[in-house]
């Protein structure tokens, strides 16, 4: 049985993407807030909403990428593999006859 989990590289790539998105959205939100002279509470809410939406978008794209990779791997082996998740870890094993 071969166990799959998220590697350190997966986390670091996701973390760097999240940090890049957060810094860009922070800059743009402050710029828009300064131009429109918004109150600090409204600016904070805009920052929170934009960062959270970006983080969710990045994480969902990573999940779709991982699912696509697993499906390609199963197709490569002619559907003779079974993919399942147990306690948050993905496993691949040969399908029993």
> Domain residue spans in the chain?
2-94
Looking from the CA of 33 toward its CB, the CA atoms found within 13 Å total 16
**Rounded mean pLDDT, 25-29:** 77
- Of the listed ranges 2-6, 69-73, 78-82, the one predicted with least confidence: 2-6
**Rounded mean pLDDT, 31-60:** 76
Higher pLDDT, 70 or 6: 70
Q: Which residues, in sequence order, are bridge partners of residue 78?
A: none
**Rounded mean pLDDT, 13-34:** 74
Measured N-to-C along each axis, helices 8-36 and 40-76 cross at an angle, to the nearest 10 degrees, of: 150
User: Residue 84: left if φ>0, alpha if ψ -120 to 50, beta else—which one?
Assistant: beta
pLDDT value at residue 12: 54
Residue 3 has pLDDT above 50, yes or no: no
pTM of the complete model: 0.41
């Amino acid at each position: 049985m071969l166990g799959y989990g998220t590697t350190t590289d997966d986390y670091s790539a996701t973390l760097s993407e999240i940090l890049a998105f957060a810094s860009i959205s922070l800059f743009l939100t402050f710029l828009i807030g300064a131009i429109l002279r918004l109150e600090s509470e409204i600016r904070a809410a805009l920052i929170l909403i934009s960062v959270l939406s970006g983080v969710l978008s990045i994480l969902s794209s990573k999940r779709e990428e991982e699912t696509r990779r697993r499906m390609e791997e199963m197709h490569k082996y002619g559907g003779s593999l079974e993919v399942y998740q147990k306690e948050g870890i993905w496993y691949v094993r040969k399908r029993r006859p």
